Amino acid sequence: MSQHRDDEAALLERARRVLPAGGFGNLSFEFLVREGKAGRVWDEAGREYVDYLLGSGPMLVGHAHPEVQAAVEAQLPLGTTFFATNARGIELAEEIVRAVACAERVRFTSSGSEATLYAMRAARAFRGRDKILKFEGGFHGMNDYALMSMAPKREVAYPQALPDSAGIPEKVPDEVLIAPFNDAETASALLRAHAEELAGAIVEPFQRLVPPEPGFLETLREVTAELGLVLIFDEVVTGFRFAYGGAQEHYGVVPDLCAMGKVIGGGFPLAAVAGRADIMAHFDPGAVDPGRSMIQIGTLSGNPVAAAAGLATLEILRRPGAYEQIFATGRELMGGMEDLLKRVGIPAQVIGEPPLFDVLFGDQDARDYRGTTRADGAKLKRFNALLRERGVLKGDSKFYVSLAHTGEDVRNTLDAVAGALEVMAAE
């Protein structure tokens, strides 16, 4: 083991010499993964973890699933990418149209950031208007428009947008209106007041960890439809995770467009925009008036390896009992954590849905982004580190639950949570 740890330390030092901050920009802590299998991963030092990071969500059926592996291995000898339409991509698009209520047409990209960017652009092309309304704290990837008030450093009056990153043109905030999540009254008022300059609204139907309150999504649907605005659901995270038809099936609200990613690529780079045929027609130069079509080109968009992995993943998820199992595992974890928190007397809440949740430390009302920021971030960071010491891996926020997590994984996790909370209670 000591040799493995020396090798890990050497790799980390090499990373610092060639990578900004010594990593890929994803995790906030140093962690080198060597391999993954089912619901577990191993680091370069040989330590084993129950994995709730799941590659930030794509591995819903687990790492190295044999059926997904077989589909990829069958495609590899036939070629990896062609910059041309291919059968596997067509089949995946057909399955998305069958599964997702809003999807009449599909256009593939390679990342969720691209998918949300093109969804917003399609709304602008369709409406002939520039502005987009988004919700404070909503995560829509890394494009310039998404990085408006995703994690604002200060509270400002709505609908002012604050850029989250250097390098964004100073005029971009003028094109984005910000509303509070779960506040149907304020969102409706902003939509009505700015209807003539808005292309539409983009929202995570489940915002990072915060579920929608009853009536919130329904009101967004009603008001945008009344005003002729495009409603976009960002389902990069929730697509095929909350139900086979995504959050729009789970919550019973159908948008005009949606962005999808993560699960549909089966662990490979693939995402998509899907939605109404009349809006998606703007991707087709022959279907709309000159000057109203959109250019969208991507070298790896719809590549057959990712499409094959996605098709195999969706085949597994279609089987009877798959979602029932994911939800049952998540409920057991959430309930167990709630009991342990009460036992040690640490103020906290377990927030989210069974396939995707986390612990927020404190007694704040976490119905929107500002509520979640009042949680004790230092305690969460400490909790996460104590879990890693005990063989449980998660990201800075979120437990992602997979179909591959077993009863033993759940027991190991709750044992680790109990140990971590005991340490925290004594500190």
294: left (phi over 0), alpha (psi -120 to 50) or beta: beta
Rounded-to-10 torsion of CA 368, 424, 378, 401: -50
**Phi, psi at 29, each rounded to 5°:** -125, 160
Q: Do residue 103 and residue 165 come from a single domain? A: yes
Could you give the C-alpha distances from 275 to 108, 278, 408, in angstroms and in order?
12, 9, 40
Q: Domain span at residue 361? A: 2-64+321-426
Determine contact, residues 220/184, Cβ cutoff 8 Å: yes
Q: Do residue 298 and residue 416 come from a single domain? A: no
**DSSP helix, strand, coil percent of the chain (3-state; round to 5):** 45, 15, 40
Q: Do residue 88 and residue 231 come from a single domain? A: yes
Q: Do residue 365 and residue 218 come from a single domain? A: no
CA atoms within 13 A of residue 206's CA, in its CB half-sphere: 25
Q: Do residue 222 and residue 364 come from a single domain? A: no
- Looking up residue 403, the CATH number of its domain turns out to be 3.90.1150.10
What is the distance in angstroms between the CA of the first residue and the CA of the last residue of the chain? Answer: 30
Q: Do residue 268 and residue 171 come from a single domain? A: yes
- Residue 1 confidence (pLDDT): 59
- Asked which of 317, 348, 373 is the last residue of a domain, the reply is 317
- Asked which of 265, 286, 317 is the last residue of a domain, the reply is 317
Q: Do residue 81 and residue 173 come from a single domain? A: yes
DSSP string, 388-405: HHTTEE--SS-EE--TT-
The dihedral through the CA atoms of 44, 45, 47, 52 has a sign that is: negative
- Looking up residue 80, the CATH number of its domain turns out to be 3.40.640.10
DSSP string, 140-162: --SSTTTTBSSS-SS---TT---
What is the C-alpha to C-alpha distance for residues 402 and 11, in angstroms, rounded to an integer? Answer: 29
| CA angle, 135 then 314 then 246, to 5° | 25
What is the C-alpha to C-alpha distance for residues 274 and 263, in angstroms, rounded to an integer? Answer: 15
Q: Do residue 102 and residue 246 come from a single domain? A: yes
What is the C-alpha to C-alpha distance for residues 330 and 358, in angstroms, rounded to an integer? Answer: 11
Residue 145: closest CA among 128, 125, 165: 165
Q: Do residue 119 and residue 255 come from a single domain? A: yes
Determine contact, residues 244/318, Cβ cutoff 8 Å: yes
The dihedral through the CA atoms of 326, 327, 328, 329 has a sign that is: positive
Q: Do residue 378 and residue 294 come from a single domain? A: no
Q: Do residue 179 and residue 209 come from a single domain? A: yes
Q: Per DSSP, what are the bridge partners of residue 400? A: 356
Helix (H) or strand (E) holding 344: helix 322-344
Token output for 129: 């208007």
Q: Would you say how long the chain is, in residues?
A: 427
What is the C-alpha to C-alpha distance for residues 298 and 83, in angstroms, rounded to an integer? Answer: 8
The residue type at 178: I
- Residue 37 confidence (pLDDT): 98
The distance of Cα 63 from the centroid of its chain, to the nearest Å, equals 18
The distance of Cα 377 from the centroid of its chain, to the nearest Å, equals 20
Token output for 168: 């964004």
Q: Do residue 369 and residue 397 come from a single domain? A: yes
Structurally, the chain folds into a number of domains equal to: 2
Per-residue pLDDT for the chain (427 aa), expressed as one digit of tens each? Answer: 566 677 888 888 998 999 999 889 898 888 899 999 999 999 999 999 999 999 999 999 999 999 999 999 999 999 999 999 999 999 999 999 999 999 999 999 999 999 999 999 999 999 999 999 999 999 999 999 999 999 999 999 999 999 999 999 999 999 999 999 999 999 999 999 999 999 999 999 999 999 999 999 999 999 999 999 999 999 999 999 999 999 999 999 999 999 999 999 999 999 999 999 999 999 999 999 989 999 999 999 999 999 999 999 999 999 999 999 999 999 999 999 999 999 999 999 999 999 999 999 999 889 999 999 999 999 999 999 999 999 999 999 999 999 999 999 999 999 999 999 999 999 9
pTM, rounded to two decimals: 0.96
- Asked which of 265, 287, 317 is the last residue of a domain, the reply is 317
Determine contact, residues 50/392, Cβ cutoff 8 Å: yes
Q: Which parts of 207-300 are beta strand (E)? A: 230-235, 257-260, 271-275
